[in-house]
Structure 1
Amino acid sequence: MNAFLFPGQASQDVGMGQDLYERFPEAKELFDAADELLGFALTELCFSGPMEELSQTSVTQPAVYVHSVIVARLLAARGLSPDVVAGHSLGEYSALTAAGVLDFQQGLSLVQERGRLMQEAGRNRPGAMTAILGLEDEVVVRLCDETGPAVVPANFNAPGQVVISGEADAVVQASEAALAAGASKVVSLPVTGAFHSPLM
């Protein structure tokens, strides 16, 4: 059984997809179609950045979606198709496209609007997100509760990895408390809002 799990926002990086674009005509075709459908040069931002612009939610979400769909299609064209699909947050749209529920254009249109709305929400109610590694879920929940309602556990990614989200100062405070409680690492995520929190 083949399972494809698609990533969400914060997996973007300058240079993403350039190797695929240069090597596979079907990747070039989808990147070029995305540029036209979006009305801006997504391909240029993916390949050359700058990272600050690529990390804007209205750009990141289409970039991650397009890259994910390209990888899924390249694998399928080479005989590796998924039996099941899943996606993390934004990755749900890539999963729906890989499963044939949405076509590429439908998925891209939805993701573009989602990214625009989430960026607007982040501008209206700024926030931040941080991954906490090395603590039990219950400890992270307690630390957020102790910090106050301005920060919440947003994603339980894996045992020992919880993402917190909320107002920037509260996220910093909860992150410092996590380190003091024995977290092995805290990683600030390159996002433009407090996703998966009441600020959205």
Structure 2
Amino acid sequence: MKAYVFPGQGSQFRGMGQDLYQHSEAARQLFEQANQILGYSLTSIMFEGTDDDLKQTIYTQPAVFLHGVVLALTSDSFAPDRFDVSMVAGHSLGELSALTAAGVLSFEDGLSLASVRATAMQRACELTPSTMAAVLGLADSVIEEVCAAITEEIVVPANYNCPGQVVISGSAAGIQLAEERLKAAGAKRVVPLAVSGAFHSPFMEPARTEFAEAVQNMLFSAPHCPVYQNVNAQATTDPEQLKANLIAQLTSPVRWTQSVERMVADGATGFLECGPGKVLQGLIKKISPAVPVTGI
């Protein structure tokens, strides 16, 4: 059973999608359509922009979404008349890509939501300073206990990326306090991340509210295959539940480890990463090393 997965913010790189644009007429049409929908040349930023341009959330998220979705929509596996994908999932922003590739959202609506999400999250980051850090070499349960014990600041698990790697989100003071306690509890390293804010935490509540309004106004169709969502790591096909989980994701942790484990338990015999970079391939190899994984 083929499982396609879509990466999120952090997998971007300068020049992403340019070969696809140059060598596929179908892809080029989608890239140009995206520029028209957004009202600016996203492809110029993707192909010729600086690394700093691509690190800006308002550009990063639409760019990563676009690259993954164009790869999918120009792949034979996702052709509507011979859809050959058993399940899909996406990491954080990648969930929007997965929903679009699976036919839940139109290309136009998926890209519009990616843009709204990016803008809303950027605004939330600017409202209150906050940050994230990767915790390496410590059990999930210990990280959860340490974060829960910090009541004077906000700090929560944000991304369960793979065994031994969990990202936490919170206030700068909360992250610093957590770092001290996590190291004392046996963490190998606690690595601050160069991000604009505390994604997947209570700091994203203003973004969740803004994003929810946009999502509720979009048509969600039944997917062509089950979508494994970040919030609960479960297969979902009901359009209303897909909406609710997508909205909740902004202030909830990304349960990527659990999602991959569930997909394998449900019969996934191979994973294909659809988007820029190889981040998810690396994580999946650590989560389920016996299952083949590659990229498009």
When normalised by structure 1's length, the TM-score is 0.88
- Is residue 66 from structure 1 mapped to residue 66 from structure 2 by the alignment? yes
Partner of 1:145, secondary structure, is: helix
Assess if the C-alpha contact under 8 Å between 1:57 and 1:191 holds in 2.
no
1:191 aligned residue: 195
CA RMSD after TM alignment: 2.2
Deviations 1:46-82 (A, max 9, x none): 1233222212211111011101101212333698842
Partner of 1:199, secondary structure, is: helix
User: Gaps spanning 5+ residues in structure 2: where?
Assistant: 205-296
When normalised by structure 2's length, the TM-score is 0.61
Deviation of residue 8 (structure 1)? 1.7
Partner of 2:133, secondary structure, is: strand
Question: Matched residues in 1 for 2:9 and 2:178: separation?
Answer: 22
Question: Matched residues in 1 for 2:105 and 2:131: separation?
Answer: 30
Moved more, 57-66 or 136-145: 136-145
Matched residue type, 2:75: L
How many pairs align? 200
- Is residue 156 from structure 1 mapped to residue 160 from structure 2 by the alignment? yes
Partner of 1:194, secondary structure, is: coil
Assess if the C-alpha contact under 8 Å between 2:78 and 2:101 holds in 1.
no
Question: Relative to structure 1, is the Cα distance of residues 174 and 13 closer, same or farther in structure 2, using a 3 angstrom cutoff?
Answer: farther
Moved more, 163-172 or 87-96: 163-172
Assess if the C-alpha contact under 8 Å between 1:56 and 1:191 holds in 2.
no
Question: Matched residues in 2 for 1:15 and 1:119: separation?
Answer: 23
1:10 aligned residue: 10
2:76 aligned residue: 76
Matched residue type, 1:122: C
User: Gaps spanning 5+ residues in structure 1: where?
Assistant: none
1:82-121 matches, within 5 Å, as: 82-121=85-124
Question: Matched residues in 2 for 1:184 and 1:28: separation?
Answer: 45
Question: Matched residues in 2 for 1:78 and 1:97: separation?
Answer: 11
Partner of 1:138, secondary structure, is: helix
Deviation of residue 22 (structure 1)? 2.1
Assess if the C-alpha contact under 8 Å between 1:151 and 1:166 holds in 2.
yes
Moved more, 92-101 or 45-54: 45-54
Deviation of residue 121 (structure 1)? 0.6
Matched residue type, 1:65: F
Assess if the C-alpha contact under 8 Å between 2:78 and 2:85 holds in 1.
no
1:175 aligned residue: 179
Question: Relative to structure 1, is the Cα distance of residues 177 and 16 closer, same or farther in structure 2, using a 3 angstrom cutoff?
Answer: farther
- Is residue 129 from structure 1 mapped to residue 132 from structure 2 by the alignment? yes
2:44 aligned residue: 44
2:29 aligned residue: 29
2:281 aligned residue: none
What is the aligned-residue identity percentage?
51
